[in-house]
Homo-oligomer: A and B are copies of this chain.
Amino acid sequence: MRACVADDASKLARIVDDFPILRERTVRGRRLVYLDSAATSQKPQCVIDALVTYYSTYNANIHRGVYEIAERATDAFEGARGKVARFVNANPRELVWTRNTTEAINLVAHSWGGANIKPGDVILVTQLEHHSNLVPWQELAARTGARLTYVPVDDRGLHVLDDLDDLLDGVKLVALSHVSNTLGTIAPLDIIVPRAHAAGAVVLVDGAQAAPNMPVDVKALDVDFYAFSGHKMCAPTGIGALYGKRALLEAMPPFLTGGDMIRTVTYDGATYNDLPWKFEAGTSNIAGAIGFGAAVEYLSQIGMEWVREHERSLVSYAFERLRELEPRGLVVYGPRDPDLVADVISFNYADIHPHDLASILDGEGVCIRAGHHCTMPLMEKMGWPATARASFYIYNTRQDVDALIDALGKAAAIFKIDRAGAAGALGG
């Protein structure tokens, strides 16, 4: 593995410097050690500036405005669509703005699902889906009389594909996450997508954890739908995107209706606008979209290959350092191979409940997440009441990993792990 972090120390320092929240010593005189980017990323100055510039100099509604600032706003908004589309190698016509990944998935479940899923049909998901890529399909199945089945995952959180062809038999839709937000597992899309297509299924990929962390090419992946959120990849909150293959999107009925998504309206009915606007009802999150454009421009300048390498290296280093604590009862969940993991490590430490762990770490200026990570069924299956999760992003350093380890040491001291020890592991 290439140790790009060490090589790129100055690049990394420059990246850290791009983030106002990381620049200043905000937590009791220390620099924030933010290890919760899988929940939401921090925002670079250039994205914040894009918002401020829009609101301060050319704030206007889009598409129908004749005057200059409305034109500028429209160009910036549609220009941002082009940038985000190019970022995942999609055509701008195939990129629909949504609030977030969740809304993108719901759009497909309602519009495509309502038109295509019939009683007795099968929808296949995996056992490690985020609630946002699970509950909409449970609801769709309940509405339509379809059946929901699961691709199993093993104890390490890796997809078990032994019976894939059987599982795919008669399946109309496969919905799975590109990267698990609980375990970091990267799904073997290269295996699943062609076989799903061969079985006649449409494939939706939840890219919420992948688009921020690795190069994504929807054409090369050959997925039918790809959903992702801006806020996890340096963009503002309230903006996400749905990529869909043009033929599928064209054939789908609109989901939300109202202003902007129509072509003509009479008292008797309406006809709809072209793609992608057919799916964008009402005033969009204009500033959010512009900020998303700035965010992917920023990420592209850094280079998504670099991002992937950087995170692989950090995860690898974190695995190494966490291993030191194993004799005291630290347990890492999920695949422990940095090649199979994106940005996330889940773990527990002896009998310290992850919420307590997160509180103590917060006292040390280290932000991690604790809980079920919106994957309750997976937690139940694995028998984990909750896990602590550290996730990494472009601005994290080896020093952040060291800070995590030191803070875990503090937690061990508070909980007297040396004495009470690894004896009483959590969740027994």
How far, in Å, is A344 (CB) from chain B's closest CB?
Answer: 14
Whether B282 and A103, one on each chain, are in contact in the complex, defined by CB atoms closer than 8 angstroms, is yes
A217-225, A318-326, A358-366, A419-427 - the one binding chain B: A358-366
Say yes or no: is A270 at the interface (Cβ < 8 Å to chain B).
yes
Partner of A67, one of B69, B101, B285, B358: B358
CA distance A167 to B330 in the complex (A): 70
Whether B281 and A69, one on each chain, are in contact in the complex, defined by CB atoms closer than 8 angstroms, is no
How far, in Å, is A212 (CB) from chain B's closest CB?
Answer: 13
B residues near A102, Cβ cutoff 8 Å: 256-259, 281-283
B residues near A270, Cβ cutoff 8 Å: 131, 135, 138
Say yes or no: is A376 at the interface (Cβ < 8 Å to chain B).
yes
Whether B369 and A283, one on each chain, are in contact in the complex, defined by CB atoms closer than 8 angstroms, is no
CA distance A424 to B242 in the complex (A): 48
Whether A67 and B362, one on each chain, are in contact in the complex, defined by CB atoms closer than 8 angstroms, is yes
Whether B265 and A135, one on each chain, are in contact in the complex, defined by CB atoms closer than 8 angstroms, is yes
B residues near A288, Cβ cutoff 8 Å: 237-238, 285, 288
Contact with B along A69-98 (1 / 0, CB 8 A): 110000000000000000000000000000
A131-B258 contact given A138-B269, A287-B236, CB 8 Å threshold: yes
Whether A127 and B267, one on each chain, are in contact in the complex, defined by CB atoms closer than 8 angstroms, is yes
Say yes or no: is A36 at the interface (Cβ < 8 Å to chain B).
yes
Say yes or no: is A122 at the interface (Cβ < 8 Å to chain B).
no
Partner of A238, one of B42, B43, B262, B287: B287
Q: Which of A127, A135, A231, A237 has the most CB of B within 10 A?
A: A237
Say yes or no: is A200 at the interface (Cβ < 8 Å to chain B).
no
| Interface residues of chain A: helix, strand, loop or mixed (majority) | mixed
> Which A residues between 1 and 52 are near B, CB-CB below 8 angstroms?
20-21, 26-27, 32, 36, 39-40, 42-43, 47-48, 51-52
Whether A27 and B68, one on each chain, are in contact in the complex, defined by CB atoms closer than 8 angstroms, is yes
B residues near A105, Cβ cutoff 8 Å: 258
Say yes or no: is A130 at the interface (Cβ < 8 Å to chain B).
yes
B residues near A239, Cβ cutoff 8 Å: 238, 285
Q: Which of A48, A287, A368 has the most CB of B within 10 A?
A: A287
Contact with B along A104-147 (1 / 0, CB 8 A): 01100000000000000000000100111111101100100000
Say yes or no: is A64 at the interface (Cβ < 8 Å to chain B).
yes
Chain A residues engaging chain B, CB cutoff 8 angstroms: 20-21, 26-27, 32, 36, 39-40, 42-43, 47-48, 51-52, 55-61, 64-70, 99-103, 105-106, 127, 130-136, 138-139, 142, 150, 229, 231, 236-239, 256-260, 262, 264-270, 281-288, 355, 358-359, 361-362, 366-371, 374, 376-377, 380-381
29 pairs, A vs B, C-beta closer than 8 Å: A21-B58, A36-B61, A40-B61, A43-B55, A48-B51, A52-B52, A61-B231, A64-B369, A66-B358, A66-B359, A67-B361, A67-B362, A100-B283, A102-B283, A127-B267, A131-B258, A131-B270, A132-B257, A134-B265, A135-B257, A135-B270, A138-B269, A142-B269, A150-B267, A236-B287, A237-B283, A239-B285, A262-B376, A265-B376
| A-B contact sample (11 more), CB < 8 A, given A229-B283, A264-B376 | A20-B57, A39-B64, A51-B55, A65-B369, A103-B281, A103-B282, A132-B282, A135-B265, A229-B282, A238-B288, A266-B380
